[in-house]
Amino acid sequence: MAQALYRKYRPRKLDELLGQETSITILKNAAKSGRLGQAYLFYGPRGTGKTTTARLVAKLLNCEKRATDPAFAKLGEPCNECRSCREIDTQNSFDVIEIDAASNRGIDEIRNLKESIKTAPAAAPHKVYIIDEAHMLTGAAFNALLKTLEEPPRHAVIILATTEYEKLPPTIVSRVQRFAFKRLSKTVIMEKLTAIAREEKINIDGAALELIAAAAEGSFRDAESLLDQISSLTAHIDLEAAARATGRTGFAKVHALASLIIKKDLRNAAAEVAALHDEGYNLVQFTKDLIHYLRKVLSLNVNPDSASIFEKELTKDELARAEALAASADVKLLVSFLRALIRAYAEMRYSPFAVVPLEIVLAEYLAA
């Protein structure tokens, strides 16, 4: 059975983790100085590297080469060659225990953890507990975990990972070192997808890669899974094939409708939406993309310096086109239209006639 791309290309060193430079720098410096902590919290959107980083911390703590070679230890990276590193990579280590809090969320599971954490590691220097989706733990389970988090045994390290930081009790948060994982930019995701496509000899157009990167919405894992899925669709992946597979339209179609809205060209804007509907595109997702794009256009109109913020989300050509659009935009119309479009999006999500709210907004705001 072929290995999934997101597993095959999972980072095996801290330097391979893209888009989380601040967190990685702190962890590398801690590893270099031998000051890795005993309780961590990694939080942020899905697919941004939280669980991968937790496993890398486990490798840093248990790497045999780091323990015997002081010069290598100063690099702040695991060797990925010793028995301990290989076992963690294949998830066969007895001393790295991963717990899915979504299905093991009660007080009994945490009591079991408290008992097992007292025992010495089987083979490695440290026993590492990775609790994924930690926000799913019950209140009683959190309370049971408090003392262990505050004073874990010397051989133990606990790493919590969550996508919903705000659901964690302050008493838990105050006992751990916190690392925020950022949503990844489209350009960063495209760079990695390009490298994977080259390595896997996947014949794919740049525009199709851009669409997959946008569809991932900041998640490396989602992007790699989409590329894996679409690579089985056809020998040559063009923009149309990627759009069909993801249900999304590319930048060109979003920009085209945005241009017609700015020009208040109701006739052609309505025709564009009707064509998208007839071709079977996901209009709910398209409207979401349109909201995000018009928001960028509005920001560029109000503050041209915001271009530096969008450099990582848009290519140079896309940014130039957005800036040109912003220069001709009517701010009052754009603000009103965006408000109405957000309301329409909310209606579209639950309506059996998704195209209708979008067409109504166009008619209301673009009619002369």
Q: Where does residue 242 rank: exposed (0-12), middle (13-18), buried (19+ CB within 10 A)?
A: buried
Work out the pLDDT band at 1, boundaries 50, 70, 90: low
Most confidently modeled of 154-163, 244-253, 304-313?
154-163
Considering the domain architecture, whether residues 199 and 104 belong to the same structural domain is answered as no
Greater confidence (161 vs 4) lies with: 161
The pairs formed by 323-326 with CB atoms below 8 angstroms and a separation of 24 or more are 325/255, 325/258, 325/259, 325/262, 325/297, 326/297, 326/298, 326/299, 326/300, 326/301
Report whether pLDDT(325) > 90. Answer: yes
Considering the domain architecture, whether residues 173 and 196 belong to the same structural domain is answered as no
Give the pLDDT mean for 122-130: 94
Q: Which residues make Cβ contacts (< 8 Å) with residue 219, sequence separation at least 6?
A: 45, 46, 47, 48, 183, 184
Number of folded domains that form the chain: 3
Q: Which domain holds residue 236?
A: 186-246
| Residue type (1 letter), 263 | K
Considering the domain architecture, whether residues 57 and 149 belong to the same structural domain is answered as yes
pLDDT at 368: 57
Residue after which a domain boundary falls, among 140, 157, 180: 180
pLDDT at 293: 94
Considering the domain architecture, whether residues 130 and 170 belong to the same structural domain is answered as yes
Give the domain CATH number at 199: 1.10.8.60
Cα separation, 346 vs 101, whole angstroms? 31
Neighbours of 25 (CB within 10 A): 12
Give the domain CATH number at 170: 3.40.50.300
Give the pLDDT mean for 353-365: 92
Considering the domain architecture, whether residues 62 and 113 belong to the same structural domain is answered as yes
pLDDT at 252: 84
Considering the domain architecture, whether residues 297 and 233 belong to the same structural domain is answered as no
Considering the domain architecture, whether residues 156 and 276 belong to the same structural domain is answered as no
| pLDDT tens sequence across 35-65 | 999 999 999 999 999 999 999 999 999 999 9
Greater confidence (368 vs 258) lies with: 258
Work out the pLDDT band at 367, boundaries 50, 70, 90: confident
Considering the domain architecture, whether residues 226 and 329 belong to the same structural domain is answered as no
Helix, strand, or coil (residue 364): helix
Residue after which a domain boundary falls, among 136, 162, 180: 180
Q: Which residues make Cβ contacts (< 8 Å) with residue 65, sequence separation at least 6?
A: 72, 79, 81, 82
Considering the domain architecture, whether residues 161 and 287 belong to the same structural domain is answered as no
Output the CA torsion sign for 112, 115, 119, 121.
positive
Share of the chain above pLDDT 70, in %: 99
Work out the pLDDT band at 142, boundaries 50, 70, 90: very high
Helix or strand (DSSP H, E) at 287:
helix 283-302
Considering the domain architecture, whether residues 337 and 361 belong to the same structural domain is answered as yes
pLDDT at 146: 92
| pLDDT tens sequence across 267-313 | 999 999 999 999 888 899 899 999 999 999 999 999 999 988 888 77
Report whether pLDDT(316) > 90. Answer: no
Considering the domain architecture, whether residues 314 and 345 belong to the same structural domain is answered as yes
For the chain, what is the mean pLDDT?
91
Share of the chain above pLDDT 90, in %: 68
Residue after which a domain boundary falls, among 137, 165, 180: 180
Give the domain CATH number at 262: 1.20.272.10
Give the pLDDT mean for 108-124: 91
Greater confidence (367 vs 74) lies with: 74
Considering the domain architecture, whether residues 353 and 218 belong to the same structural domain is answered as no
pLDDT at 312: 74
